[in-house]
Amino acid sequence: MHYGYRVAAIFLLGFFIDCINIFMSAIALPSIAAQMSVATESISWMANSYILGLTLIVPLSGWLASRFGTRQTIVASMLIFSIAALGCARADSFSTLVAWRFIQGAGGGLLIPVGQALTFNLFQGRQRAAISTLIMCVALIAPALSPLLGGMLVDVLSWRWIFYCNIPFSLLAALLAAIWIRPQAMERTRADITGIILVCGTLGTLLRSLSLFSEQHAVPQAALWLGVSLLLGWGYLRHYRRQSTAILDLSLLRNPQLNLSIAVYYAVPGVFTGVNLLNIFYLQQVLHFSAGHTGSFMLLYGVGALAAMLVAGRIYYRAGAPRLFTCGMLLHSGGIVLLSLVSDTSSSGILCAAYLLMGIGGGIAANCAQTTALIELNEQQMSGGSTLWNINRQLTFSLGTALFTLLLAVLSRYFPGELAWHLAFIIAAVSGLLPLWLIYQRRFHKEIQ
């Protein structure tokens, strides 16, 4: 096999492993919550800790690769991931599970930017475009298949096998990296350690405050954590103004294409992550669907997203980003509205239509956001823009999960039974349309100039 394809195979295997860990573990959350007696609003920390670990390590990955070498970094990434997966599977308390998930996220996050950079450097032109298509396909196949497979593991064995099943694949990726990747010299870079600490501290304390706000007797603590988050965020702004190589180049947010794409990513993949988590609990805890049945609906989401993404990629320049964004968000929110109509086990048809619509809308919007985000950045801005965009993608998942579990907890205090769940879905559908204001405000300003 050609060296470039060997490297691409290692990267795609690691990327697939990382993707399935976000979506496969979600299907097991109700079982974990029941066994470990964890409240619904707190169980999201299992997902958030994984994404926090991944977010923390992404900016450090380039420095680690330049310091220790690409091959050693990728091998270490998969070995750390394997050890952490074993720790998750054997965890006997929720706090231990959350800690191992953080380490697992850090291990998986090491491979993504290093492997992607190495792979893209080995391909040019149409070959690079083909590799990009494979990456997008992996990103779709993982959320489509992993909930169903994860649900079957939970139903037949236990939630612990969600983590055990990852270990052979991550060890295979480590072995292939050790055998196939050639040693190479890299220019050493400096890491903005202070910036990393401030950014991750801001996010971690913000998520902690959101989690506490959902508990009736913890409002003072929640307000304290929120204050700490704002203080750390202010600290990063001061650091950013003094640091020429800060971890996040906030000046790039002035680019209208990038900030619109970020807003759309929060409104579509971010909202979907939170909505899907709520629906998993709703179907399993309220309507008593099995984990496997619950996970099967994501197959329709994956089919719809794949078809939409292929079409959107072909018509992007002809239709234009505003039209594609609008179409994607309307379809995605329409699918979420359908979730509010699900009331019993005979509603499988509505669930199928909901996930298909969310998949089509999500595929259009996410693909358009990915294409639009960096389209106008020059060569000097590309590295900072890529870092900002990839960190933002991880934050959308964490914040979407935290905000909608908080929303459900608040609604459950004032509205009985299923009504609280249905209202949460309707509010989510409306919030998924908020970036439309940005799109048409900009179009209006262009028309009057």
pLDDT digits (tens, 9 = 90+) for 425-448: 999 999 999 988 888 776 544 433
* pLDDT for position 447: 37
pLDDT in tens, 102-129: 899 888 877 777 777 777 677 665 565 5
Lowest mean pLDDT among 58-62, 277-281, 309-313, 368-372: 58-62
> Other C-beta atoms within 10 Å of 433: how many?
15
CA distances to 51, 134, 135, 414 from 171, in Å:
21, 22, 21, 49
Give residue 178's pLDDT band: very low, low, confident or very high (50, 70, 90).
confident
How far, in Å, CA of 195 to CA of 235, rounded?
9
Mean pLDDT of the residues in the chain: 80
Name the more confident of 153 and 135. 153
Nearest to 46 by CA among 112, 93, 3: 93
How far, in Å, CA of 435 to CA of 131, rounded?
30
Name the more confident of 142 and 288. 288
Lowest mean pLDDT among 32-46, 220-234, 287-301: 32-46
* pLDDT for position 381: 62
Q: Which residue has the tokens 């079409």?
A: 311
Q: How far from chain centre, in Å, is Cα 88? A: 19
* pLDDT for position 217: 65
Q: What percent of the chain has pLDDT over 90?
A: 14
CA torsion through residues 305, 308, 311, 314, sign? negative
Name the more confident of 302 and 352. 352
* pLDDT for position 157: 84
In this structure, which long-range contacts are made by residues 29-38, counting pairs with CB atoms below 8 Å and at least 24 apart in sequence?
29/277, 29/280, 29/281, 30/280, 30/281, 30/284, 30/285, 30/291, 31/154, 31/158, 31/159, 31/291, 32/94, 32/97, 32/159, 35/159, 36/93, 36/94, 36/97, 38/94
Rounded average pLDDT over 140-166: 80
- Spell out the domains of the chain, with CATH numbers in brackets: 1-182 (1.20.1250.20), 193-246 (no CATH), 252-449 (1.20.1250.20)
Compute and round to an integer the Cα radius of gyration of the chain. 21
Give yes or no for residue 383 having a pLDDT over 60: no
Cα dihedral value 181, 145, 281, 207, nearest 10: 30
Alpha helix (H) residue ranges in 320-374: 321-339, 348-373
pLDDT in tens, 182-219: 776 555 556 677 887 888 788 778 767 766 765 656 77
Give yes or no for residue 406 having a pLDDT over 90: no
- Tokens standing for residue 96: 């231990």
**pTM for the complete prediction?**
0.73
pLDDT in tens, 387-396: 677 677 777 8
How far, in Å, CA of 147 to CA of 444, rounded?
42
* pLDDT for position 444: 40
* pLDDT for position 154: 82
Nearest to 407 by CA among 213, 268, 263: 213
Burial class (CB in 10 A: 0-12, 13-18, 19+), 348: middle
